[in-house]
Amino acid sequence: MLSLGKKIRLERMRHRPSGKFFFVTVDHSITRGVFPGLVNMKDALKKIIAGRPDAITMHKGIAQEFFYPYAGQVSLVLKASSFSPYQPTYDTWVAWVDEAVRMGADAISMGVLVGGDRQAEMLHNLGLISREASLAGMPLIAHIYPKGEMIKPEDQYSVEALSYAVRAGAELGVDIIKTWYPGTPEAFARVCECAPGKVVAAGGPKTDTEREFFEMTRGVMDAGAVGVAYGRNIWGHKNPALMIKALKAIVHADKGVKEALEILGSGNERIG
């Protein structure tokens, strides 16, 4: 049973009346380098939060410097780990639950990359932070991807690999599990079945156009996911706030691709 603290914090992040989650992530600079859309974080956050996502995930230094003006408007998720371009298959621990509590966060998130030489260490870390989060009444979000060295690139989006990743998180007490979309609603439904009521989509095979991105999101929700957690396709868009509003029509209002494109006012432009 969830503690009262976890219940309260989860409900702060959960949209009502849809009961779904819409996360935006801005934790990419350590993992992949500084993207143009994240060079000026003050400006980036202003554009993103204008679209009113439910929560935003970031590292502690960015939160400490830039988040306070948006307190009460959007939930803060503190990122507790990161991989890097130089160690792409290992997420190292960089923040702790007590920091999330002191910063007023509504959740803490940790990355885990399964299928590699250091999977055991990362699962051990996930188990440790799961215990800490439980004691503090802090929801735990895991970003779990099957991208270790033992998994062939062509198998990373397979139902089997994604199901294993998702189930590992569920068995270690994770409250929300973020993983890749395998390409079809039918395949993702099988993944979601491994952790009912916990899975949100991080994205999947690259989408080139706005229509493809909306079609993927529609597929995510049709598969039974409890929401989405998107990054580059939002803050990399020319109008992040409008992109968020268009996506929320699908995630929270159960609208279709046509309605999302109408909100965006787009003729189906290319992304990026």
Residues taking part in catalysis: 27, 145, 178
Q: Are 26 and 44 in contact (CB under 8 A)?
A: yes
| 152-183 CB burial, b ≥16 within 10 A, e <16 | eeeebbbbebbbbbbbbbbebebbbbbbbbbe
What number of other Cβ atoms are within 10 A of residue 254's Cβ?
13
Contact of 167 with 195, CB cutoff 8 Å: yes
